[in-house]
């Protein structure tokens, strides 16, 4: 088994990376002075992975929307009962989440770490699906889908994504639809599990108060052998421009809620894609971040509130610069943002502003290493991007004003932009 100690002089920190013979990447980050241990077991598999094949298979397999999230729910059930009972016995808190491009299972504990780690490894690696349990889950997840349909913030996001994307599953709710989940069977769940829950496609990250040697002993004893699988995902060809520039719905809200988005092409290669995301984060700060003149002006004019924020919305096959919040006049925010994009293109980026924005992002990365949950998540995210966390910090440090200026020219075309608004009924 390959073992590396990854260190950063800049951050005065280090963690251990193991390449297990099973293919699993194991990241261990003991943190002195902390009382909690946090474990995160993740797979490179999310809601956008609806059309795939193993390398060598003649045809792609297409599965219903929402199946990754459905599978996450079902893994907590086994022949012996609910996996939460395993954690109740250790006193740990357990949970899981599915995003657009990953699924993660987690626990947090202050004692009985080895027992909790064993419980995590056990239930994630032992699927159990029957016709009866799968049918029972349809009602539960159907209720969850309806609940999110009543959330204005969730609805306006997917209204925007439908403006930007024509074919990509990213425009469909992570949980799917009531129609799509009705098509899910035990056989389809096992098919997805066998492909995506292969240990070659997974990462285990642990941070906080634990003994790395004890952790490795538990891991060695509880990993099942899986033959390596190479996964090919079907591409979703999208045109460069937005499909439409506006969408609007009405809901029970007191103020209009909006999202503005620029659709962008992800850079080729995981490392280049991550660098692109850093460059966009810097641009968001420069354009309309909380210290920018544009933000302060809109705040003074009461066109935005403290709810306003930005996000680099990125994952496998999709990338959007998001800007959103509450506003009495979303169109005025759109106009101000578009004018600011053109101004920055014309006048150029001031080096002092650039460094202030980059340092703010660097500060967030440093702070992540001081939080048990954030540390494990950051390590796992970097590993899934194909680099170490410290390499990602260095990648940010290497970005120049010229890099960001080029990104502004290539990734902020008004033809790729759209806005979705939820307005009060009536």
* Torsions phi, psi for 413 (to 5 deg): -95, 125
At 38, list the tokens. Answer: 């946090």
d(CA 221, CA 253): 53
**Closest among 46, 21, 54 to 195, alpha carbons compared:** 54
Known catalytic residue at 4: no
Count CA atoms closer than 13 A to 126's CA, side-chain side: 15
* Torsions phi, psi for 365 (to 5 deg): -65, -40
CA 203 to chain centre: 14
> Judging by beta carbons within 10 Å of its beta carbon (0-12, 13-18, 19+), is residue 74 exposed, middle or buried?
buried
d(CA 403, CA 399): 6
d(CA 272, CA 264): 14
- The alpha helices in 174-258, defined as continuous H runs, are 178-181, 186-196, 212-222
**Closest among 64, 159, 58, 86 to 418, alpha carbons compared:** 159
- Indicate which residue of 4, 9, 62, 72 is catalytic: 72
Question: Helices H, strands E: what count in the chain?
Answer: 15, 17
**Between the CA of residue 184 and those of 130, 145, 191, 270, what are the distances in Å?**
11, 15, 11, 31
Cβ-proximal residues to 120 (8 Å cutoff; 6+ apart), any chain: 39, 41, 94, 105, 106, 107
**Strands 103-109 and 93-98, bridge-based pairing:** antiparallel
d(CA 196, CA 5): 28
Give catalytic residue positions.
72
């Amino acid at each position: 088994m390959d073992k590396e100690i990854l260190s950063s002089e800049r951050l005065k920190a280090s963690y251990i990376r193991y390449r297990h013979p099973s293919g699993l990447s194991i990241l261990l980050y003991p943190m002195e002075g902390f009382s909690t241990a946090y474990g995160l077991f993740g797979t490179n598999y999310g809601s956008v992975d609806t059309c795939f094949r193993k390398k060598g298979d003649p045809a792609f397999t297409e599965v219903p929307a929402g199946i990754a999230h459905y599978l996450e729910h079902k893994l907590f059930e086994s022949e012996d009962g609910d996996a939460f009972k395993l954690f109740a016995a250790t006193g740990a808190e357990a949970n899981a989440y599915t995003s657009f491009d990953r699924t993660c299972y987690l626990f947090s504990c202050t004692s009985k770490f080895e027992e909790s780690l064993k419980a995590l490894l056990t239930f994630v690696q032992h699927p159990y699906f029957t016709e009866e349990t799968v049918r029972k889950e349809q009602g539960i997840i159907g209720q969850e889908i309806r609940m999110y349909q009543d959330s204005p913030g969730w609805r306006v996001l997917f209204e925007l994504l439908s403006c930007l994307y024509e074919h990509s599953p990213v425009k469909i709710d992570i949980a799917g639809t009531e129609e799509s989940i009705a098509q899910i069977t035990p056989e389809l769940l096992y098919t997805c599990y066998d492909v995506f829950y292969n240990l070659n496609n997974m990462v285990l990250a642990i941070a906080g108060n634990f003994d790395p040697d004890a952790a490795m002993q538990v891991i060695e004893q509880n990993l099942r052998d899986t033959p390596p699988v190479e996964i090919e995902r079907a591409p979703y060809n999208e045109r460069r421009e937005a499909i439409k520039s506006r969408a609007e719905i009405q809901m029970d809200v007191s103020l209009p809620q909006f999202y503005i988005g620029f659709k962008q092409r992800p850079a080729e290669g995981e490392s280049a894609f991550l660098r692109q995301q850093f460059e966009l984060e810097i641009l968001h700060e420069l354009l309309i971040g909380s210290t920018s003149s544009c933000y302060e002006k809109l705040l003074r004019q009461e066109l935005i509130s403290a709810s306003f924020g930005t996000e680099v919305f990125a994952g496998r096959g999709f990338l959007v610069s998001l800007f959103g919040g509450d506003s009495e006049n979303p169109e005025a925010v759109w106009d101000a943002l578009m004018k600011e994009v053109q101004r920055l293109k014309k006048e150029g980026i001031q080096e002092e502003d650039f460094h202030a924005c980059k340092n703010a992002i660097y500060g967030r990365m440093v702070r992540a290493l001081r939080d048990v949950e954030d540390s494990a998540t950051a390590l796992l995210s970097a590993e899934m991007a194909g680099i170490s966390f410290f390499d990602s910090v260095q990648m940010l440090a290497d970005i120049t004003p010229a890099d960001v200026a080029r990104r502004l020219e290539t990734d902020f075309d008004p033809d790729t932009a759209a806005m979705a608004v939820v307005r009060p009924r009536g």
